[in-house]
Structure 1
């Protein structure tokens, strides 16, 4: 499920996975069937993009369409059935997660009962509305009475999340009792920077002054939580996205849930992570990372129980093609760059400036209450299993900051870039940090990088060969001030997987073959070699 707004630009990672990277058949000739749909906010024309992206129009249609495809094509029963993988970017990620919630809560309708799905979906979506009566059960009851078998009565509960959960469970059991649905397991949900914005965004200042929710509401009930019905859940998150309406929807694993959850922070804005910018360096890294997750690479490398037929199989040569394509693009615009050194852009441009600015806080996110859309400031999300990707410290070490987006609107680019240049000049005069420094008043403010022995700080962090550190004990430690964060909270650095190392080696080999770049090429290659040395034992 894709939500790449730049239809005529670079394809999103979801598009690249669905249309090219996933092999049509695995090594055992099992078909890997792909169902692809455009995400919310991708309608042609400016009004379609604004209305769809701003209000979530199309969300219900996308969920219903994907669910119906699964119901018609699914083969098998329960754990013995097909493997289901749900992938999405941005609001498409939100759609994928809601589809996962629907499958977990109501199961997958049998093909012969799919005609009832519209009513059942409406009942699920309106759970919690006290003035709503379940449509499916009303119609089913009437049908049963005509057959002389009595009926089934069900009422929706109040807006309490606990009561809604009870209602959902009762509904599921009732569907099972009449053999309408079947329990299915979801092999994995893999998402790029989930955005839960399915309403009109409210400026953060107005939220505080007038006690308004983050969005003027839309649907009463959507569910992006994880549970034991979802075996694996993976999310790539953008560290440098500052648009308030693009606040990330981070998973929280409930106590007692056995889902394998991993959420990793990468450098760049929302579209750097999910793909949409012309320079694909960062999105290539997140693409390779997701390929590692969805192929079960971590289980395979750690010696855990790993069956290749439980995972997706990809075409590794596709990564090589993408590296060549992107280095050619960079060469036309000033010269090739080392791994993780590709362009990232500040997405807070016109007209997004008017919706407010918000800094993301890894490891420190407050939850949003499901029934109200208000942020619960009394606690942090728990059991999020967040990690920091090594490309973050590489960029900090290199000091490569934000650049103007060559594909952005001329007015927005001009205004924002002039402002950035002015601030950069002022920061130089005051002796401030390098252009890219999320440690100073940014998303990593209050965190320090540790290698198990020492902390590289300030100029040392920028000048040090950060990519040649030992692969043992690398982590980020919180030393800042946050009343909800305990002392010495740790975010580990995520280890590179097989596809990631392949991407890095291919990038290194292609750069090594370039000539005429002088000392700058030597410097970039030394950084890449450091990463290779660190990754050699993985």
Structure 2
């Protein structure tokens, strides 16, 4: 049967999933699937309207064969260029756009850790040079090298020279060269890349392409790929691999949506996060939310995936356009968002319950999953650094230094509801990782013993409760949730006489940072549909958590009072 040629071509969704360092769900070895892997598996083959959702999964850096490959890739980031090129080739070979650009395939980029940096770099490459057409892909390596070295004044671009030679020999065409050249001045870099892109467009070698959404978990690599300080000393390496120093991961208008899940409790210096900043005039819908836990809690690479389930559901909500669909359904277009299998998410909850029963000491409440301390031996040798939500300084990649004269602007940072719940319910802080090596276990026990002694000296008993406001990442931030009392050292955290004012929770800055105005606030992020699916399985607290998240707790029973009533009724 001959197809109706007047029928418009069906648009598809192209999804690139870049996993974190040493993570590989297709490598022939059983391991804990990261959130990148789980998202790739949760995406349905087609959405409810029949639109194909095509997933390209890429293993993380350092997953090659042999110890040398894994050591070099994981420690220095080698393999980054290859990963970006392979992901770009997938997009270029599959992307379709109507000749008049009225419709095109939707592109989604997902990543964790250095895979998040890979995804963001890929987005920058697409924005700055477009997607090369299939017939132009034979020149991709030259174009990629020119882009990668746009900030290196000692580099001589190769593509236009080689392409002009080819055109002259085969077609008698005119030669072409650029007026601008690579530079270490950010303004000249942008001018050079803009001229480069416009030249590619004028010769029909590339095409403009928008990114529907970039969704990343705890991006590592503000200046490029960070090198472990231990390797810096042993091999004389720089703090960042300069081959990647000039790569731009900033937002611009070709990215419609950008979502970033961040770890509050990651202290390893080389893992300091690359928080996004939305430049003036940028129209990207940006949201960045902080969760309790270390780097791999947020990316879900630990045995207890309870925290990872929270970030997984959060990302599913945002990549599905849940907020827009609820607030403005007429503006929601299924072609611009992903569809997920909700049963897959429910199954992850059951998998985690089974693990908690077998290994974790029993069922845990919502938001109280295990938090692991990643700052153990030998990682502690690389140094440590406390993260500062709302107070991150920009990194000048053209000058190789952190600009301490200002803070990142227009970051739209928020705090997840689970942070508040963990804090007011006296949730546990760091706990031992059953999968850790012996040096890490010893380091944890020593550090835990010291912390316990400090707790006892302070008169708080031996238990170490979660409190990010006490010398932690939320130091100088105060929780405002409409309740007068927060006894952080008692499980019975809700006073029966303190029933709330019905105020939506937020965090207010009370410190003396001259770059941040006293009274600045970070709102608590509103729970989405997938998040509520996970939450409602925790029947002992679901109603109260959901109501308090939206500021509707007025004269309602607290979760601990509910527990008490349930215990009493069970004994009657």
Q: Does 1:445 align with 2:475?
A: yes
CA gap 1:455/1:130 in 2 versus in 1, 3 angstroms: farther
For residue 536 of structure 2, what is the aligned residue in structure 1? 505
Higher RCO, Cα 8 Å, sep 6+: 1
User: What's the CA shift string for 1:180-224, capped at 9, x where partnerless?
Assistant: 000011000000000016142348xx9xxxxx9853634241111
* SS state at 1:265 partner: strand
Q: What's the CA shift for 1:270?
A: 0.3
Distance 1:391 1:360 in 2: 18
The answer to whether the 8 A contact 2:251-2:276 is kept is: yes
The answer to whether the 8 A contact 2:23-2:60 is kept is: no
CA gap 1:215/1:128 in 2 versus in 1, 3 angstroms: closer
Q: What's the CA shift for 1:419?
A: 2.1
Q: What's the CA shift for 1:66?
A: 0.6
The answer to whether the 8 A contact 2:504-2:550 is kept is: no
For 1:10-409, list aligned pairs within 5 A: 10-18=32-40, 20-77=41-98, 78=101, 80-146=103-169, 147-154=171-178, 155-196=180-221, 198-202=225-229, 214-215=239-240, 217-303=242-328, 305-333=331-359, 334-399=361-426, 400-409=428-437
The answer to whether the 8 A contact 1:468-1:533 is kept is: no
Q: Which runs of 5+ in 1 are unaligned?
A: 207-211, 510-524
User: What's the CA shift string for 1:433-468, capped at 9, x where partnerless?
Assistant: 9431110111000000112x5665564897534998
CA gap 1:158/1:471 in 2 versus in 1, 3 angstroms: farther
CA gap 1:386/1:461 in 2 versus in 1, 3 angstroms: farther
* Greater shift in the superposed pair: 60-69 or 5-14: 5-14
Distance 2:476 2:491 in 1: 17
Distance 1:216 1:163 in 2: 22
User: What's the CA shift string for 1:41-63, capped at 9, x where partnerless?
Assistant: 33355433331122211111011
* SS state at 1:92 partner: helix
> What is the TM-score normalised by the length of structure 2?
0.85
CA gap 1:458/1:379 in 2 versus in 1, 3 angstroms: farther
CA gap 1:287/1:165 in 2 versus in 1, 3 angstroms: same
Q: What's the CA shift for 1:472?
A: 4.1
The answer to whether the 8 A contact 1:424-1:435 is kept is: no
* Greater shift in the superposed pair: 336-345 or 142-151: 142-151
> What is the TM-score normalised by the length of structure 1?
0.90
For residue 518 of structure 1, what is the aligned residue in structure 2? none
For residue 479 of structure 1, what is the aligned residue in structure 2? 510
Distance 2:296 2:44 in 1: 25
Q: Which runs of 5+ in 2 are unaligned?
A: 1-17, 25-29, 553-572
User: What's the CA shift string for 1:284-303, capped at 9, x where partnerless?
Assistant: 00000000000000101112
CA gap 1:231/1:326 in 2 versus in 1, 3 angstroms: same
1:429 aligned to 449, 452, 457, which one? 457
Counting matched residue pairs gives: 513
Q: Which structure: larger Rg?
A: 2
The answer to whether the 8 A contact 1:213-1:372 is kept is: no
Distance 1:471 1:461 in 2: 23
